[in-house]
Structure 1
Amino acid sequence: MQSLIGTGVALVTPFKKDFSVDVEALKRIVSHQIENGIDYLVVLGTTGESATLTKKEKELVITTVIEANASRLPLVLGVGGYNTAEVVEELKTRDLSKFEAVLSVSPFYNKPTQEGIYQHFKTVAEASPIPVILYNVPGRTASNMLPATVLRLAKDFDNVVAIKEAAGDIVQAMRLIQHKPEGFLVISGDDAITLPMVLAGGSGVISVIAEGFPRQFSDMVRLGLERRADEAYKIHYGLLDAIDMIFEQGNPAGIKAVLKTLGLSENTVRLPLVTATDDLASRLESFTKNAGIRSEANV
């Protein structure tokens, strides 16, 4: 899965001020990623506020991204949830021909045991016609998918090809890298420790901060993959404050504030999320402008 090495971006779903999906803004955001060096795009992940979208809106987002991308970058689709049967039904009925892989989050709310997580993903892997990227994010799911469970899945199913590891635990990530099967990718899901994970042998990132700062963050990941650590860390520390800020009041409120500064979209989010406060938005605007970031839409 060489196409999943490097920097993937978890796309937001931009909304107009009336909370409807902003198709034109989504096209601009996709183009901004492509023009600034991102390696692949992730559609309808958590950052895309997929939990608040109707089925019709999800189809609109998928169609818009496919058309705007025009086969230029690989695409990954978020297909996950806490109802295994429902996830399987989507995998069996959705046209996945335009996607490189699915990103499937570990079941949330239910808090399954490690055996329950294994059996869930066993069922998902057997149902999926394309490769599966596991997604471990205990801060959202309330359960941690342990390395032993991940490695068991990776060894038992050829189409389980990667994990987006977002536990925020560098030691846990290193255990995965240490024991993973050949060809299995350990992808960072935590922007702040992406570079240490890459230098430890990780394969890149599925990022939020890169959506607002695609050139800088993707350059950092490439330098890390090339083992040019000193150069990579200059970029890392240059963006570290922004990474803290975009998650300060929840995701994607922070990154949407950045995208508004760039002139790419409104900063609207849907309840139960709320927009970034004026104070946070001002700090992000100042950081973005001082960093010299701009979009082609703003030129």
Structure 2
Amino acid sequence: MDKIILGNTGIKVSKLCFGALPVGPLQKNLPIEVSGEIIAYALKRGVNFIDTAQAYGTYPHIKAALDKVDFRPVIATKSGAETYESMEKAINEALEGMEIDYIDIFHLHAARADVGVFEERKGALQCLLDYKKKGIIKAVGISTHSVKVVEAAAAREDIDVVFPLINKIGRGILQGTVEEMEKAIELCQKNGKGIYLMKVLGGGTMIDDYDSSMEYVMNLKGQYSIAIGMISNEEIDYNVRYFNGERDLEGIITIRNKKIIRVSQHMCVACGTCIQTCHSGAIDFDESEKAFIDQSKCIQCGYCVAVCPEFCIRVF
């Protein structure tokens, strides 16, 4: 599989990145050993790049995969920590959870944050920079859905990698349009930032339009990797073949794996926690004052699943 260098970092990654969110407890919640087999299969098929996060709960799954291969892939993770101390704890959690001695890319996990994130999380960012000086982190990044944050990151010398959300219909993009996100990504690349892309299939909601959705991001200017969540060997095979240049493929129907996140309304107590957490403005109260998810806006991130105090939001 073709590989690229992420900006000025010197980190070489496959153009297909394994998105680890779906195998974990926020979505399909596959057994750790099963997940390890699936991730290892992707690594053996030529994928050398894994994206995860503290919030995903998938460090054990990745550890299980590392035990099954004879090389060390590039690993990116992220944390919503705001202070120096909480970020230091997050770094150690990642190192211990995956049993690794360094992390290739560590992001500020800032999906819905605005440009004030760099000041608001100054302590956390400083921690990442200090650990970069120690060689424990190779590159510091930010993961975001916001056009304005991508633009701001482009101008910052302390940010090496940017992980923005983009897809052809703009589902989930904050503080700007698809066209504005394209320009912000181009600016990042011009300034030497490494770029890899998220939600190019809208969290799986655009799978019926797989080919044109992928062609859109593959035709963007510049060099970048694309993170795709995968939960089966069949999905890995299809995506690897596609990224290796095969286009006349049958079988996308058989691996469709559409996810729908729904609220069990008889359990909902209308606390509003999910509404505050949703990055995409996809959740609101319905006529009965129960939480309701607008599937046309949902990007299947699963964050609402994690925060619901009544455990009434589930992936189906």
TM range (shorter): 0.5 to 0.7
- CA distance, structure 2, for counterparts of residue 205 and residue 37 of structure 1: 14
Q: Number of paired residues?
A: 225
The letter for the 2-side match of 1:215 is D
RMSD over equivalenced CA pairs, Å: 3.9
Correspondence 1:196 to 2:205 = no
With over 3 angstroms needed to count, the CA separation of the structure-2 counterparts of 1:177 and 1:14, relative to structure 1, is closer
- Match in the other structure for 1:274: 314
With over 3 angstroms needed to count, the CA separation of the structure-2 counterparts of 1:116 and 1:31, relative to structure 1, is closer
C-alpha displacement at 1:210, in angstroms?
A: 7.6
With over 3 angstroms needed to count, the CA separation of the structure-2 counterparts of 1:161 and 1:194, relative to structure 1, is farther
Whether the 8 Å CA contact 1:8–1:41 is kept in 2: the answer is yes
- CA distance, structure 2, for counterparts of residue 247 and residue 91 of structure 1: 30
With over 3 angstroms needed to count, the CA separation of the structure-2 counterparts of 1:60 and 1:149, relative to structure 1, is same
2:237 to 191, 209, 215: 215
- Match in the other structure for 2:117: 116
The letter for the 2-side match of 1:73 is P
Which structure's residues are more often helix, by fraction? 1
C-alpha displacement at 1:174, in angstroms?
A: 1.7
The letter for the 2-side match of 1:198 is M
TM-score (ref. length: structure 1): 0.59
With over 3 angstroms needed to count, the CA separation of the structure-2 counterparts of 1:94 and 1:20, relative to structure 1, is closer
Whether the 8 Å CA contact 1:37–1:214 is kept in 2: the answer is no
User: What are the within-5 Å matches in structure 2 for residues 207-286 of structure 1?
Assistant: 207-209=228-230, 213-223=235-245, 232=247, 239=252, 246-249=258-261, 251=300, 271=311, 273-276=313-316
- Match in the other structure for 2:306: none
2:109 to 105, 109, 133: 105
Which structure's residues are more often strand, by fraction? 2
What residue ranges of structure 2 are gaps of 5+ in the alignment?
A: 1-5, 171-177, 202-212, 262-298, 303-309
Identity over the aligned pairs, expressed in percent? 6
- CA distance, structure 1, for counterparts of residue 217 and residue 224 of structure 2: 8
- Match in the other structure for 2:151: 148
- Match in the other structure for 2:289: none
TM-score (ref. length: structure 2): 0.56
Structure 1 runs of 4+ aligned residues shifted over 6 Å read 240-243
- Match in the other structure for 1:292: none
C-alpha displacement at 1:213, in angstroms?
A: 1.3
Alignment deviations for residues 12-48 of structure 1 (CA, whole Å, 9 cap, x no partner):
4457xxx9983321221122212333231224465xx
With over 3 angstroms needed to count, the CA separation of the structure-2 counterparts of 1:214 and 1:152, relative to structure 1, is same
What residue ranges of structure 1 are gaps of 5+ in the alignment?
A: 51-57, 139-143, 224-230, 254-269, 277-299
